[in-house]
């Protein structure tokens, strides 16, 4: 249960951060890809923890986190249009 709560918390935090970045990039006229943004943020954490980056990205849990966070980010940004 704790792991599920942590993943959900992380998903929403990444989605809100992604939406903020997406807004700033849109205002500057630059493209934004939520999935790439979330993956890069996860890679940053993986580097800090000394994890193998490719293995981290192949992790089922992290892949799900990336997909769900990217979907949430896209939803937040779409709702603002």
Give residue 7's pLDDT: 76
Give residue 71's pLDDT: 96
Q: How many residues does the chain have?
A: 81
Confirm whether pTM is higher than 0.95: no
Enclosing domain of residue 19:
2-79
The whole-angstrom separation of Cα 81 and Cα 67 is: 22
Averaged in consecutive runs of 10 residues, what is the pLDDT profile of the chain (81 residues)? 72 95 97 96 92 92 93 94 72
Count up the domains in the chain and report the number.
1
Give residue 6's pLDDT: 78
What letters, b where the CB count within 10 A reaches 16 and e where it falls short, cover 17-52? Answer: ebbeebeeeeeeeeebebeebbbebbbeebeeeebe
Give residue 11's pLDDT: 92
List the Cα angle 12/16/20 in 5-degree steps.
165
């Amino acid at each position: 249960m704790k792991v599920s709560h942590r993943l959900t918390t992380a998903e929403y935090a990444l989605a809100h951060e992604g939406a903020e970045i997406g807004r700033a990039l849109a205002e500057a006229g630059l493209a934004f890809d939520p999935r790439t943004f979330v993956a890069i943020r996860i890679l940053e954490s993986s580097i800090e923890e000394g994890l193998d980056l490719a293995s981290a990205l192949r992790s089922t849990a992290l892949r799900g986190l990336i997909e769900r966070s990217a979907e949430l980010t896209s939803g937040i940004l779409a709702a603002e249009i």
